[in-house]
Amino acid sequence: MSKKLYPFMRNQKIQIKTNTKNYSIFIGSKLINRINKIFISQRLSSPKILIVIDNNIPSKFKSKLFKNLKSKLIKKHFFNANEKNKNQKNIDLIQNILFENRFNRDDCIIAFGGGITGDVVGYCASTYKRGIKFINIPTTLLAQVDSSIGGKTGINNSYGKNLIGSFYQPSLVVSDTDLLKSLNPREVICGYAEILKSSLLDSFQKFKYLDNNFNSIINLKKPFIEKAILNSCKLKKRIVQKDEHESNLRKILNLGHTFAHAYESCLGFSNKLNHGEAVIIGIKNALEFSYQKKLLKSKSYQIIKNHLKKIPLKKNFKQLFNERDVNKIISFMKSDKKNNSEKINIILIKDFGKIKTNWQFDKSTLRKFLSSELKK
């Protein structure tokens, strides 16, 4: 098969340059096989390494990573990655391993797992001795296209999702697409949510690529999945480099997320709804809200709505919630970290590549909207 015809089958490297750190993102196949060479090429060899490993990863991938890593001391900590374990208790457990083995800033902590593992390990790295080297090896589609890039770290508490955290850029991200072969269809759809979001933020051209190749992408076919990942990473690179700490432009990445995080919190981070599924429902809500507020034109609204219908979700908004849940959802939306007044900030869409970040609504407006969505 010609690489000229299928350029996205080659391994790719993206360079991220922020005010606090420059680092590389490697995207491609069989990267775990040469992980030590990548570390050396990036001057990231460390005397001590702690690997925090998502228990959900198949044994063959764990063995491959351990075989190819080289260091004087390698410690392993297996982490049961779910939203309920994304908490301070697990931060303490991981940091105690670092303290007991006298890790210092020249040493390294690696996240080997999905977005939850990356968020926890990133936050752990940012607060241990005010910052230790952090390498992210994301193993899910969601993490490869979104959470591993840009330095957002965080944990949950009883008030909501990701309300405790930091901005802390990794020293390296290695996205081996072979790891995606272990994902079930629900996990793939979870990652596709962020790929879709990126295309809406980017351009009609990027969205059309997804619309034309939807089945190939969700079935992880080459070169379509690599191109979808690369497009998402490039979009996030442009945004993060311009606005590392989410003071303005980076807020657009929260399209659908104010709704989504409230839904996850309302359900107690249960298996009824994973993050990507919540984001898809949140994008549907933001799309509908944008249209009702006469922000989004009918043609674009219908095109996006038709695409959303292609995505197979196990449950929809009406199946998950009822009228009694609306006030609870509103309460979690009010606690969202992006709010800075009594009103609730919602990211809305004006068109492909045109996003409105500074529109705030009172609770009664959102209550009325959510109630109407339940009646459809």
**CA-to-CA distance for 24 and 7, rounded, in angstroms?**
20
Q: Is the pLDDT of residue 144 over 90?
A: yes
pLDDT for 71: 83
For CA atoms 250, 300, 309, 188, the dihedral sign is: negative
Buried b (16+ CB within 10 A) or exposed e, 7-29: ebbebbebebebeeeebbbbbbe
Q: Of 99, 51, 96, whose CA–CA distance to 74 is shortest?
A: 51
Residue 118's alpha-carbon distances to 54, 112, 122, 234, 311, in angstroms, are 9, 7, 6, 19, 26
Q: Of 182, 177, 205, whose CA–CA distance to 54 is shortest?
A: 182
Q: What amino acid is encoded at 9 in this protein?
A: M
> Once rounded to an integer, what is the mean pLDDT over residues 36-46?
88
- DSSP letter string over 202-246? H-HHHHHHHHHTHHHHHTT-TTHHHHHHHHHHHHHHHHHHH-TT-
Q: Per-residue pLDDT tens for 245-303?
A: 988 899 999 999 999 999 999 999 998 999 999 999 999 999 999 999 999 999 999 99
State the Rg of the chain over Cα: 20
Q: Per-residue pLDDT tens for 106-137?
A: 999 999 999 999 999 999 999 999 999 999 99
Strand, coil or helix: 350: strand
**CA-to-CA distance for 241 and 113, rounded, in angstroms?**
25
Residue 211's alpha-carbon distances to 192, 205, 215, 303, in angstroms, are 12, 10, 9, 9
**CA-to-CA distance for 360 and 342, rounded, in angstroms?**
9
**CA-to-CA distance for 356 and 273, rounded, in angstroms?**
27
Q: Of 134, 142, 141, 140, whose CA–CA distance to 173 is shortest?
A: 134
Which residue's structure tokens are 């609204």?
301
Counting other chains too, the contacts that 18-22 makes at CB distance below 8 Å and 24 or more residues apart are 18/151, 18/169, 18/240, 18/241, 18/244, 19/244, 20/151, 20/167, 20/169, 20/244, 21/151, 21/169, 21/171
**CA-to-CA distance for 259 and 280, rounded, in angstroms?**
10
**CA-to-CA distance for 27 and 231, rounded, in angstroms?**
11
Q: pTM of the entire structure?
A: 0.91
Q: Per-residue pLDDT tens for 205-256?
A: 999 999 999 999 999 998 899 999 999 999 999 999 998 998 889 999 999 9
pLDDT for 201: 97
Strand, coil or helix: 293: coil
The percent helix, strand, coil of the chain (3-state, each to 5) is 50, 20, 30
**Predicted confidence band at 376 (pLDDT cuts at 50, 70, 90)?**
confident
In sequence order, what are the residues at sequence separation of 6 or more whose Cβ sits closer than 8 angstroms to the Cβ of residue 159? 335
Query: Contact 318/288 with Cβ under 8 angstroms?
Result: no
Q: Is the pLDDT of residue 7 over 70?
A: no
pLDDT for 10: 67
- DSSP letter string over 39-92? HHHTT---SEEEEEEETTS-HHHHHHHHHH---SEEEEEEE--SGGG-SHHHHH
Q: Of 221, 193, 195, 141, whose CA–CA distance to 313 is shortest?
A: 193
Q: Per-residue pLDDT tens for 295-324?
A: 999 999 999 999 999 999 988 999 999 999
Q: Of 16, 232, 250, 247, whose CA–CA distance to 136 is shortest?
A: 16
pLDDT for 136: 97
Bridge partners of residue 283, in order along the sequence = none
Q: Is the pLDDT of residue 44 over 90?
A: no
Kindly report the average pLDDT of the chain as a whole number: 92
**Predicted confidence band at 6 (pLDDT cuts at 50, 70, 90)?**
very low
50, 114, 15, 154: CA torsion to nearest 10: -80
**CA-to-CA distance for 214 and 333, rounded, in angstroms?**
31
**CA-to-CA distance for 318 and 50, rounded, in angstroms?**
43
